[in-house]
Every structure is written in structure tokens, then in C-alpha cells.
Structure 1
């Protein structure tokens, strides 16, 4: 099995884990200030238009998206999480679908196609391009895409297994509790890290690396601003705005480095867009 298919297999296992279910059902609205800033920017531009929500997990983004428009479809490739979303949001059009092949969806139709919580980072580079091409295809000319992606220069890229060790305290009871609480996480995290670290590779403009989330149980892509801008242009999308996750600040077009954990990219399909189908 090659490294690309191995990356996909590892992440699919993680999405079916109890830890993923816990995180995905945790009661929160926006994932971070950057996502809220991106939605605030898009809401008046996409109000009332058909919306496509990709990688919905257990359904966190459904209320966010349907506050913009009730013409809504949500998709996810993990049946377990999709079933949770259906139970929490009965009556919504929620479908089992892989973002790399959304051929059952109409071309040139949606006013917004959104892929949240860095979901696009969980496939290899070639499949990432396929997802962006599919998002390009399904949005109407003038329509928008929104997705988030981990920052190659951010603090998340520097995370390592030692952070799973208990934080020292001079209070012996507190230290003992922290030690007990972290024992299982450190054991599982170390096992996952040692199993997945072979896939780590820095390609310059982007990198593939095992991430701390889900006890180092996933392997993801970390991108740079320069590379992601280039990739979007390659697909035919024109960037409108980029927001940093931490403070929700808009990143200027001429900036190439940021300390944000991840980015929220907004781009649109030109009015005179070419078609893929």
C-alpha cells in the first residue's frame, strides 16, 4: 500500500473512533474567530442561494449554513458521523458522499460550497486538487468556495508527543491526578505517532505530518499561503479573502507568513468560467 492510500486509511479509522464522535458532537457554533469572520463576509453575498456543506461530521455547521439559506445539502463520507447528523437534524438533505467525487450533484448550481474544520487536509495532495476541482465544478459562475487548511508555519505544525506528558505541579495531588489522566493518552498517542510518523514529509510549499488531534491518530496536509494561493489559481478559482483562525484577522494579499493555526480561504468561480464536464 502506498503512502497516499495509507494516509486515507489512517484518517478514515480516526473519523470512526469514539474520540472523533466526542469531538464532533461537542456543543459549539463557530470553530474559531476566523470561521466566524469568513461567514460574516459570505452571509450577505450568499443569502438565499443554494448551499453545499462538505464534511459535515455530526452536523456542527448545519445551523451556521442554514442561517444563510434554507436551500441546503450536507455531505460526508463517514457514515457513522452522518448518522449522528441525521439524528440531530431530521428533515435536512444529508447524503453519504466523498468530496473527491460529487458527480451526483449538479454543475454550476451552488452559490457556496463549504468544507470546514480543515477536512480538505485529510487527503493526499492529488486528492486535495480533485476536491477543489469538484467544488469549482458545482458552484455557479460568481459562486464561492470556503475551506480551512492548517498552516505550515503555525504552532500546530510544531506539536509533538511530549505535550501529552502531564504538566508539572508542586501540588502532589494535582500532579498525581494529571499523571493518571494523561497515562492512557500518552500511551495511545505514542503508539499512533510511531505508527504514522513514517508518512511525514516536507515538500516545501506544503508538508504531510501526523497531527496531535485524536491522540496523534490522523495524518494531514499543512499548507503555506503561497502554495494554497497557487493551487487555487491552478484550479481556476480567484481568491477574495483569507482569515486567520486565532483572531479572525483578515490576512493581506501580500503577506506570505502567519502564526495562525490554520487559514480560512474564500475564493470565487469567475463569471466567465470554464466547465469541467
Structure 2
């Protein structure tokens, strides 16, 4: 099995884990200030338009998207998470579908296709391109895509297993509690890290690396601003806005280095015909 298919296998295991179910069912609205800023930017531009919610998971983004428009479809490739979403939102059109092949959906139809919580980072780089091409295909001319992606230059890229050790305290009771609480996480995190570290590779403009989330149970792509903008342009998109996750600030077009954890990219399909239609 090659590293690309192994990356996909590792992440599918994580999405079916009890930890993923716990995290994705926590009461939450926006994942961060950057996502909130991106939705506020898009809302007046996509109001009443058909919306496609990719990687809907347990349904966190459903109320965020349907606040913009009730013409809504959500898709996800993890049946376990999708079933939870269907129970929570029984009246919504939620479908089992892989973002790399959305051929069941019409071309040039949606005013917005959104892929939240860095879901696009969880496949290999060629499949990342395939997802963006599918998003380009399904949105109408003049329509938008929104997705988040981990920052190659951000603090998340520097995370390692030592952060799972208990934080020191001069209070023995507090230190003892922290130690007990971290024992299982450290053991599992170390095991996952050792299993997955062979998939780590730095390509310069982007990298593949095991991430701290889910006890180092996932392996993801970290991108740079310049590489993601280049990739979007190659596919045919026009980059409209980028928001940083930490403070929700809009990142200027001429900025190439940021210390935010991840980016929220907004791009538009030009009104004129382009490739992959």
C-alpha cells in the first residue's frame, strides 16, 4: 500500500473512533473567529442560493449554512457521523458521498460549496486537487467555494507528542490529577505517532505530517498561502479572501507568511467559462 492510500486509511479510522464522535458532537457554532468572518463575508453574496456542505460530519455547519439559504444539501463520506447528523436534522437532505467524486450532483448549480474544519487536508495531495476540481465543477459561474486548511508555517505544524505530558504544578494534588488524566492520552498518542510518523514528508510549499488532533490519530496536509493560491489559480478559481483562524483577521493578498493555525480560503468561479466545467 502506498503512502497516499495509507494516509486515507489512517484518517478514516480516526473519523470512526469514539474520540471523533465525542469531538464532533460537542455543542459548537463556528469553529473559530476566522470561520465566522468568512461566513459573514459570504452571507450577503450567497443569500438564497443553492448550498453544498461537504464533510458535514455530525451536522455542526448545518445551521450556519441554512442561515444563508434553505436550499441546502450536506454530504459526508463517514456513515457513522452522517447518521448522527440525520437524527439531529431529520428534515435536511444529507447524503453519503465522497468529495473526490460528487458525480451524483449537477454541474454549475451551487452558489456556495463549503468544506469546513480542514477536511480537505485529510486526503493526499492529488485527491486534494480532485476535490477542488469537483467543487469548481458543481458551483455556478460566479459561485463561491470556502474551505479551511492547516498552515505550514503555523504553531499546529510544530506540535509534538511531548505536549501530551502533564503541565507541571507546584501543587501536588493538581500535578497528580494532571498526571493521571494524561497517562492514557500519552500512551495512545505515542503509539499513534510512532505508527504514523513514516508518512511525514516536507515538500517545502506544503507538508504531510501527523497532527496532534485525536491523540495524533490523523495525518494531514499543511499548506502555505502561496501554494494554495497557486493551486486555486491552476484549477481556474479566482482567490477572493483569506481569513486567519486565530483572530479572524483578513489576510492581505500580498502576504505570504502567517502564524495562524489554519486558513479559511474563499475563492470564486469566474463568470466566464473555464476548465473542468
Question: 1:274 and 1:108 mapped to 2: Cα distance?
Answer: 11
Query: SS at 1:141's partner residue?
Result: strand
Query: What does the per-residue CA deviation read over 1:118-170, in whole Å, with 9 as the maximum and x for residues that have no partner?
Result: 00000000000000000000000000000000000000000000000000111
Query: SS at 1:56's partner residue?
Result: coil
How far 1:43 moved relative to its partner?
Answer: 0.1
Equivalence for 2:26: 26
Give every structure 1 segment of 4 or more consecutive aligned residues whose post-TM-superposition deviation is greater than 3 Å.
none
- Aligned residue pairs total 277
Question: 1:73 and 1:54 mapped to 2: Cα distance?
Answer: 9
Gaps of 5+ in 1: none
Asked whether the 8 Å contact 2:110–2:139 carries over to 1, the reply is: yes
Query: What does the per-residue CA deviation read over 1:54-105, in whole Å, with 9 as the maximum and x for residues that have no partner?
Result: 0011000000000000000000000000000000101100000000000000
How far 1:274 moved relative to its partner?
Answer: 2.4
Question: 1:142 and 1:171 mapped to 2: Cα distance?
Answer: 59
Equivalence for 2:48: 48
Q: Give the alignment's TM-score, normalised by structure 1.
A: 0.99
Instruction: Say whether 1:221 aligns with 2:217.
Output: no
Question: 1:276 and 1:129 mapped to 2: Cα distance?
Answer: 12
Question: 1:81 and 1:106 mapped to 2: Cα distance?
Answer: 24
Question: 1:270 and 1:170 mapped to 2: Cα distance?
Answer: 59
Question: 1:163 and 1:274 mapped to 2: Cα distance?
Answer: 46
After superposition, the CA RMSD in angstroms is 0.6
Equivalence for 1:71: 71
Asked whether the 8 Å contact 2:236–2:275 carries over to 1, the reply is: no
Question: 2:108 and 2:133 mapped to 1: Cα distance?
Answer: 12
Question: 2:155 and 2:180 mapped to 1: Cα distance?
Answer: 27
Instruction: Say whether 1:5 aligns with 2:5.
Output: yes
Equivalence for 2:172: 172
Equivalence for 2:39: 39
Question: 1:273 and 1:226 mapped to 2: Cα distance?
Answer: 24
Asked whether the 8 Å contact 2:10–2:217 carries over to 1, the reply is: yes
How far 1:275 moved relative to its partner?
Answer: 5.0
Pairing of 1:1-277 with structure 2 (within 5 A)? 1-274=1-274, 276=276
